[in-house]
Amino acid sequence: MAIDSALWPRLSLAEWQDTHDTLHMWLQIVGKTRLALAPRENHWWHVPLYVGARGLSTSPMPYRSIAVEAQFDFIDHRLIVNTSDGATRSLALRPQTVADFYREYVDALESAGIHVKIWPVPVEVDAAIPFEEDRRHASYDSDHARRFFHMLLHANRALARFKGRFLGKTSPVHFFWGAFDLALTRFSGRRAPESRQAQSSMLREAMSHEEISFGFWPGSGTVAEPAFYAYARPEPSGLAAASVRPASAYYSRELADFILPYEAVRSLPSPDDAVLEFFQGVYDVAAEQARWDRAALDRPPADWA
């Protein structure tokens, strides 16, 4: 089914929950390959996947003297593995169990000469079934996957435009396969006080510096709808009381995040402008309250693309 790329597609979480949950596991399997092979970066930036013209990709990962890349193609619905020495392997994305997908993927890597060891258990989920044993998740609806990809394309474009408004340290726009969200983070340049939330070495690294983050996710247990989000860590004491636009945006005390429902903006004349207004509004309030050096960090509005 063709999708008009100019339109922001509708896709409620309830509509594609089964495919969402299966795809989440498949993305974790491939994402763990990147975790194993990519050189370590600050804030775990070597871990995420990236939005491309056809889906989500690991980007090239070093393996001995060559490079390997795995790409989820949500147009032709294939997982493609390419190496810099010319090997190509392709798996059909179709309804199948996580256990079968895991076995096929590992076989494809090994037949291409890539031997990598990953921890075969998902993270950031309530029921962590080892991949080799997971026969619960076995759904794949190609139309739902394609609509999800087009949602990511629109969110990626808005985040990339917003990224260009900042001169300080910023993350790439990247997709975290654990939390299943597309994210962008800005930094003040100052160390953050140690947080009581940072109970593990992973979280201590992720939360080591003051940040204001922005992103999109297709829905979760807490916000069971596609939504854009924005938050500051550590959070200034008055941030929760701030009013931001568009009018459909709100502050979630459970998450300590500002939320902008995707459905509220997708049918507007300019969804991009609404999302950018939301990101900019949260940043303005949070950066002012946290006393960031905005003269040094912000690109002047006249230079915004």
Question: What pLDDT digit, counting tens, does each position of 240-264 carry?
Answer: 999 999 999 999 999 999 999 999 9
Average pLDDT over the chain reads 94
Give the DSSP letter of residue 84.
T
Question: What pLDDT digit, counting tens, does each position of 156-189 carry?
Answer: 999 999 999 999 999 999 999 999 999 999 999 9
Q: What is the residue whose two structure tokens read 């992973």?
A: 202
Question: Measuring CA to CA, how many Å separate 56 from each of 31, 66, 174, 294?
Answer: 10, 21, 10, 33
Side-chain-side CA neighbours of 77 within 13 Å: the count stands at 15
pTM value?
Answer: 0.94
Give residue 201's pLDDT: 65
Question: What pLDDT digit, counting tens, does each position of 58-80 carry?
Answer: 999 999 999 999 999 999 999 99
Question: What pLDDT digit, counting tens, does each position of 286-305 carry?
Answer: 999 999 999 999 999 999 97
Give residue 194's pLDDT: 78
Token pair, residue 80, equals 């493609």
Q: Amino acid letter at 11?
A: L
Token pair, residue 42, equals 């600050």
Is the pLDDT at 204 greater than 70, yes or no? no
Give the DSSP letter of residue 303.
G
Q: DSSP labels for 176-203?
A: ETTTTEEEEEEEEEEEPPPPTT--SHHH
